[in-house]
Chain A
Amino acid sequence: MARDDERLHRPPPQRPGPRRAVIPEAEGVNGRAVDSGGQGSAGDDVASRAVNAAYRVVEDNIQEGRRAAERLRGAGPAPAEASPGARAIAGRLMHLTRDLGGTWVDLILAVLKEPEVRAVIDRLTLHDRGPVASMSSAVALAPSPAMSVTQRVSSRKPVEVTLSPLPALARSVAPAVAGLHALSPASPPIDQVALTRRPDGGLELAITIADDQPADTYWGALVDVDSRQPIGTLTVRILE
Chain B
Amino acid sequence: MSLAETLATATAGPTSSGLVGEVLEEYGQAARATVERYFDADNRSPYLHDLVVDYPRRGGKMMRSSLCIAQARAYGASLEKAVLTAAAIEMLHNGLLIHDDIQDASQERRGRPTLHAMHGVPLALNAGDMLMLLALRPLMDNVDEVGGWLAIEVLRETEIMARESAEGQALELGWRDLNDTTVTEADYLRMVLKKTAWFSTIYPARVGALIGSRGRVDPGVFMHFGFFLGAAFQIQDDLLNLVGDESYGKERNGDLYEGKRTLMLIHARGACSAADRAIFDALLAAPRERRTAEDVAWLRAAIERHGSIDYARKVAEALVGAAEFEYARLYADLPESRDKRFIAALIPWVLERS
Contacts and interface: CB of A to CB of B under 8 A. Distances in A.
A37 B311 contact: yes
A36 B307 contact: yes
A58 B185 contact: no
Nearest to B319: A54
Nearest to A105: B147
B227 interface: yes
B271 interface: yes
A57 B270 contact: no
A33 interface: yes
A48 B317 CA distance: 11
A47 B318 contact: yes
B348 to A, nearest CB: 15
A60 B187 CA distance: 12
B148 A217 contact: yes
Given A46-B315, A57-B193, A22 B227 contact: no
A51 interface: yes
Interface size class on chain A is 35 or more
A68 B174 CA distance: 22
Interface of B is mostly: helix
Given A26-B270, A33-B270, A20 B182 contact: yes
B307 to A, nearest CB: 3
Nearest to A183: B149
Nearest to A184: B149
A21 B187 CA distance: 8
Interface in B175-226: 182, 184-186, 189-190, 193-194, 214-216, 220, 223-224
A21 B224 contact: no
A55 B190 CA distance: 11
Given A43-B314, A54-B228, A58-B223, A98 B149 contact: yes
A84 interface: no
A50 B188 CA distance: 12
Shortest 8 CB-CB contacts between residues of A and residues of B: A22-B186, A37-B310, A37-B307, A47-B318, A33-B270, A33-B271, A35-B307, A50-B315
